[in-house]
């Protein structure tokens, strides 16, 4: 019997979508200029502020996380502006490319893939900038390509001490997985995408903007039209949108955010931490080297560098034999690592299933140096201790 509906996503995005959310999208469409849509929009906006831990604007774009980041960058900067970009993976590299495409001058603060960005390097560069030429600092919070969580709070403190620079944050796989207290940390622009912690399909991007960001918006001279955040702000104040939104995704978002409120912020964050710890404990018990250290591990995804068995063979067998998707490595890590997502609508049972299937896969591929069942026992110990 074909099991077509048993496919299981264990990647950092798109993430699994709850049935309630999938069914919400099957409703008949409504007019996006109707009172009914405005009501939904109002509820969504209030929930988004709660999730972002902010009193300020959280705007919704029909875009991916990259579109949200591009919007954040081009709405507060001008050609020739100087920015610091932290890069320790594929997405940090991407923000460099976006800046260069718009004629923004980039100073790079780098760390090796798998290593965290050093907040002291940002502090040194910002302290040395006595002329206040640095207009913004751009940081990826959870670097999906390597499974590293950067110390956003410490970097934000260094930016605040500078007094002039804005902090622009890629929170695409951290928002909804760990605490990103925008107002407490003084974050200016925070971008995220719907197919991650929000538990809905791809298609919506979110941009949170501080008062400082809006002051910079007034001076920004980069060309923008569809991604000009000014009209989104004016429309959002009236619970509407400047252009036609993907209405079905708003239905989905309304339900997903309702589910997140039911679980509560602490519940969401502790669940992601538990799943991360269980996954990492399992990998260690199976003698599978982890790509990032425990103290800088992302709550969204665990990167593993297997020895003696090919990462792509593991992924292929998991897909064919168990209908479980794992993510591969990117750029120079292609074929060298696999990445197991534990983000969004993922529970203890999913980790147990994925780890058990991974053990069977390793045995099938003739991997040595591990005891079958050890990974499962390690994951169970974490999950049952904190469940």
Task: Give residue-wise pLDDT tens across range 174-194.
Answer: 999 999 999 999 999 999 999
**Neighbouring C-beta atoms of residue 319, cutoff 10 Å:** 15
Place of tokens 């918006």: 217
> Which residues make up the CATH 3.90.1150.10 domain(s) of the chain?
264-386
Model pLDDT for residues 54-89, shown as the tens digit of each residue:
999 999 999 999 999 999 999 999 999 999 999 999
**Neighbouring C-beta atoms of residue 35, cutoff 10 Å:** 9
Model pLDDT for residues 131-176, shown as the tens digit of each residue:
999 999 999 999 999 999 999 999 999 999 999 999 999 999 999 9
Model pLDDT for residues 205-220, shown as the tens digit of each residue:
999 999 999 999 999 9
Model pLDDT for residues 234-257, shown as the tens digit of each residue:
999 999 999 999 999 999 999 999
Task: Give Rg (Cα) of the chain.
Answer: 21
Give mean pLDDT, residues 305-328. 97
Three-state DSSP class for residue 290: strand
Whole-prediction pTM: 0.97
With CA atoms as reference, report the closest residue to 44 among 240, 214, 176: 240
Cβ pair 219, 78 in contact under 8 A: yes
Residue 243's Cβ-count burial label (10 Å; 0-12, 13-18, 19+) is: exposed
Residues 6+ apart with CB under 8 A from 346: 10, 15, 16, 275
**Among residues of the chain, what percentage have pLDDT more than 70?**
99
User: What share of residues in the chain are helix, strand, coil (percent, to 5)?
Assistant: 45, 15, 40
Model pLDDT for residues 328-377, shown as the tens digit of each residue:
999 999 999 999 999 999 999 999 999 999 999 999 999 999 999 999 99
Q: How confident is the model at residue 1 (pLDDT cuts 50, 70, 90)?
A: very low
Give mean pLDDT, residues 104-118. 98
Predicted confidence at residue 387, as pLDDT, reads 57
CATH architecture of the region 19-262: 3-Layer(aba) Sandwich (3.40)
CA 362 to each of CA 12, 277, 312: distance values in angstroms, whole numbers, following the listed order = 22, 21, 12
Q: How confident is the model at residue 2 (pLDDT cuts 50, 70, 90)?
A: low
Does the pLDDT value for residue 270 go beyond 60? yes
Tokens of 160: 């605040």
> Which residues make up the CATH 3.40.640.10 domain(s) of the chain?
19-262
37-46 own/partner pairs: CB under 8 Å, 24+ apart? 37/240, 37/247, 37/250, 38/238, 38/239, 38/240, 39/239, 40/250, 40/251, 40/254, 41/236, 41/239, 41/240, 41/241, 41/250, 42/239, 43/254, 43/257, 44/250, 44/253, 44/254, 44/257, 45/236, 45/239
Does the pLDDT value for residue 386 go beyond 90? no
Predicted confidence at residue 3, as pLDDT, reads 59
Identify how many contiguous H helices and E strands the chain contains and give both numbers: 14, 13
On average, the pLDDT of the chain sits at 97
Q: Report how far residue 189's alpha carbon sits from residue 61's, in angstroms, rounded to the nearest whole number.
A: 14
Give mean pLDDT, residues 19-23. 98
Predicted confidence at residue 5, as pLDDT, reads 79
264-386 CATH, one of 3.30.450.40, 3.90.1150.10, 3.40.50.10420, 3.40.50.11740: 3.90.1150.10
Q: Report helix angle 374-386 to 265-285, nearest 10.
A: 160
Residue 222's Cβ-count burial label (10 Å; 0-12, 13-18, 19+) is: middle
Predicted confidence at residue 256, as pLDDT, reads 98
Q: Write out the E strands in the chain.
A: 8-10, 57-61, 82-87, 105-110, 134-140, 142-143, 148-149, 166-170, 189-193, 205-209, 301-304, 324-328, 338-341
Give mean pLDDT, residues 190-206. 98
């Amino acid at each position: 019997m074909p099991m077509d509906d048993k496919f299981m996503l264990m990647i950092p995005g798109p993430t699994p979508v709850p049935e309630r959310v999938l069914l919400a999208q099957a409703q008949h469409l409504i007019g996006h200029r109707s009172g009914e849509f405005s009501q939904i929009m109002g509820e969504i906006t209030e929930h988004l502020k709660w999730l972002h831990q902010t009193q300020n604007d959280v705007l919704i774009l029909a875009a991916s996380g990259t579109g949200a980041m591009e919007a954040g960058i081009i709405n507060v900067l001008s050609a020739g502006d100087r920015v610091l970009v932290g890069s320790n993976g594929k997405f940090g590299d991407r923000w460099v490319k976006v800046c260069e495409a718009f004629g923004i001058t980039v100073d790079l603060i780098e760390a090796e893939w798998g290593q965290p960005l050093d907040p002291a390097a940002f502090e040194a560069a910002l302290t040395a900038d006595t002329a206040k030429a640095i207009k913004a600092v751009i940081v990826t919070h959870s670097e999906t390509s390597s499974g590293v969580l950067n110390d956003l709070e410490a970097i934000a403190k260094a930016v605040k001490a500078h007094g002039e620079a804005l902090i622009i944050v890629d929170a695409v796989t951290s928002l909804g997985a760990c605490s990103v207290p925008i107002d407490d940390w003084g974050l200016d622009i925070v971008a995220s995408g719907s197919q991650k912690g929000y538990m809905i399909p791809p298609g919506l991007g979110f941009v949170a903007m501080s008062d400082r960001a809006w002051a910079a918006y007034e001076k920004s001279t980069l060309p923008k039209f569809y991604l000009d955040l000014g009209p989104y702000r004016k429309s959002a104040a009236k619970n509407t949108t400047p252009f036609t939104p993907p209405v079905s995704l708003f239905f989905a978002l309304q339900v997903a955010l309702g589910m997140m409120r039911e679980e509560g912020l602490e519940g969401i964050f502790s669940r992601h931490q538990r799943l991360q710890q269980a996954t990492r404990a399992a990998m260690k018990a199976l003698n599978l080297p982890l790509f990032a250290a425990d103290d800088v591990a992302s709550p969204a995804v665990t990167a593993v560098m297997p020895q003696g068995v090919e990462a792509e063979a593991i992924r292929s067998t998991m897909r064919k034999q168990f209908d479980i998707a794992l993510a591969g490595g990117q750029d120079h890590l292609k074929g060298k690592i696999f990445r197991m997502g534990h983000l969004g609508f993922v529970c203890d049972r999913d980790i147990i299933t994925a780890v058990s299937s991974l053990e069977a896969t390793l045995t099938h591929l003739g991997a040595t140096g591990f005891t079958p069942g050890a990974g499962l026992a390690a994951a169970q110990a974490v999950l049952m201790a904190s469940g």
